[in-house]
């Protein structure tokens, strides 16, 4: 497991290079902004030091949904971090004076703005068990790349790392992920740090080479626009099916985001003997997947003779202006 920390001005002036070597950190999340106006006084220095120390770095924004529109707060985070390749942007959603449905819509708008302002940058959602199990977190997995989850199995100062990735999860998750990617397991590491572990590789955490998880070994996005094409390679014989995810009904007037037509994707499944299987798939609100009728925005297409599949090509056929998510298993 990867080890990491998250910090803010509360920790003073930590020497990230020395701490990373002492405790085996490979990533760090740094507070950048909060709400409508607050900026962390240590962010710029810590952000630069994290890069110098060779750490995968994430900038996080502490949400105050009642203070201003999601687009305004997302812009503050992007403007502070100016992220580059391998950086992460995180929404820290811990409290809200809005109702559950309003907070959920606000979080989706925040994610959409990050996609718009920082295309290609990995997005992270920090979300606790209560929000992940009610309408506040419903379906947010379709809008963020990774889930960072706080759950502390013990209390008191410690420097002993967990031996396994085993956070306690509440029953009835609504967020869309089966388990988190990053686990914040203590707020008292060495008496002063929040400490985290991740079940991803360093390449996966930084968004290099695609997501590889137990329930979604490969995943990414098919670009917007008719004719967009993506070739997906993987270990021969690996995938049995491909899932397409597309919330084409999403409407966020403050960002100029309007509902889209149903997603249409041509899937060319190439086999090692030179033959191929063509699948015409539709995804989005109004489509029904017989295999997963409860998944409103997801369609799953199964491959013939999966043991012989070599690679897959996806071709966008609709006129939509938002990407379609895909995953394989």
Residue 214 confidence (pLDDT): 40
Residues 6 or more apart in contact with residue 290 via CB below 8 angstroms: none
Q: What is the 3-state secondary structure (H, E, C) of the chain?
A: CEEEEEECHHHCCCCHHHHHHHHCEEEEEEEEEECCCEECCCHHHHHHHHHHCCCEEEEEEECCCCCCCHHHHHHHHHHHHCCCCCCEEEEEECCCCCCHHHHHHHHHHHHHHHHHHCCCCEEEEEECHHHHCCCCCCCHHHCCCEEEEECCCCCCCECCCCCCCCCCCCCCCCCCCCCCCEEEEEEEECCCEEEEEECCCHHHHCCCCCCCCCCCCEEEEECCCCCCEEEEECCCCCCCEEEEECCCCCCEHHHCECCCCCEEEEEEEEECCCCEEEEEEEECCCCCCCCCCCCCCEEEEECCCHHHEEEEEEEECCCCCCCEEEEEC
Per-residue pLDDT of the chain (329 residues; tens, 9 = 90+): 899 999 888 878 888 889 999 999 999 999 999 999 999 999 999 999 999 998 999 999 999 999 999 999 999 999 999 998 789 999 999 999 999 999 999 999 999 999 888 877 899 999 999 999 999 999 999 899 999 999 998 777 888 899 889 899 988 899 989 899 999 999 889 878 899 999 888 878 887 533 434 444 456 778 788 888 888 776 666 678 888 888 787 776 755 667 888 999 999 998 878 888 999 999 887 776 666 565 567 888 899 888 888 888 999 999 888 788 888 77
Give the Å distances, CA to CA, from 181 to 113, 134, 175.
Answer: 22, 19, 13
Query: Which sign does the torsion angle of CA 142, 269, 231, 235 carry?
Result: positive
Pairing of strands 193-198, 182-189: antiparallel
Architecture of the domain whose range is 2-205 = Alpha-Beta Barrel (3.20)
Enumerate the CATH 3.20.20.80 domain ranges in the chain, comma separated: 2-205
Enumerate the CATH 2.60.120 domain ranges in the chain, comma separated: 218-328
Pairing of strands 218-222, 324-328: antiparallel
Partners of 324 in the beta sheet? 222
Pairing of strands 56-62, 88-93: parallel
Does this model's pTM top 0.85? Answer: no
End-to-end CA distance of the chain: 22
248's torsion region: left (phi>0), alpha (psi -120 to 50) or beta? alpha
Give the Å distances, CA to CA, from 13 to 10, 102, 296.
Answer: 9, 37, 47
The CATH number of 218-328 is: 2.60.120
Pairing of strands 122-127, 88-93: parallel
Residue 217 confidence (pLDDT): 42
Taking the CB of residue 236, how many other CB atoms lie within 10 A of it? Answer: 12
């Amino acid at each position: 497991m990867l080890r990491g920390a998250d910090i803010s001005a509360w920790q003073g002036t930590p020497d990230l290079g020395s701490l990373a070597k002492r405790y085996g950190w490979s990533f760090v999340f740094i507070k950048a902004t909060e709400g409508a106006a607050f900026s962390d006084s240590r962010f710029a220095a810590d952000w630069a030091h994290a890069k110098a120390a060779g750490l995968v770095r994430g900038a996080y924004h502490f949400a105050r949904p009642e203070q201003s529109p999601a687009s305004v707060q997302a812009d503050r985070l992007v403007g502070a971090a100016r992220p580059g390749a391998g950086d992460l942007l995180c929404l820290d959603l811990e409290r809200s004076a809005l109702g559950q449905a309003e907070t959920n819509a606000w979080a989706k708008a925040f994610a959409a703005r990050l996609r718009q302002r920082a295309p290609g940058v990995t997005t992270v959602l920090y979300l606790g068990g209560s929000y992940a199990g009610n309408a506040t977190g419903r379906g947010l997995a379709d809008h963020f790349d990774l889930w960072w989850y706080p759950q502390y199995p013990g209390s008191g100062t410690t420097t002993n790392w967990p031996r396994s990735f085993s956070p306690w999860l509440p029953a009835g998750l609504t967020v869309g992920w089966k388990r988190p990617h990053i686990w914040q397991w203590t707020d008292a590491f060495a008496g002063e740090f929040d400490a985290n572990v991740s079940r991803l590789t360093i390449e996966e955490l930084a968004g290099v080479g695609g997501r590889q998880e137990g329930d979604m070994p490969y995943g990414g996005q098919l670009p917007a626009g008719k004719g967009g094409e993506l070739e997906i390679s993987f270990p021969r014989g690996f995938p049995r099916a491909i899932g397409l995810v597309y919330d084409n009904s999403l409407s966020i007037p403050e960002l100029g985001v309007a509902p889209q037509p149903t997603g249409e994707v041509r899937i060319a499944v190439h086999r090692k003997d030179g033959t191929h299987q063509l699948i015409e798939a539709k995804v989005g609100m109004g489509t029904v997947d017989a295999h997963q009728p409860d998944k409103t925005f997801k369609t799953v297409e199964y491959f013939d003779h999966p043991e012989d599949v070599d690679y897959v090509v996806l071709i966008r056929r609709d006129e939509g202006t938002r990407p379609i998510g895909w995953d394989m298993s």
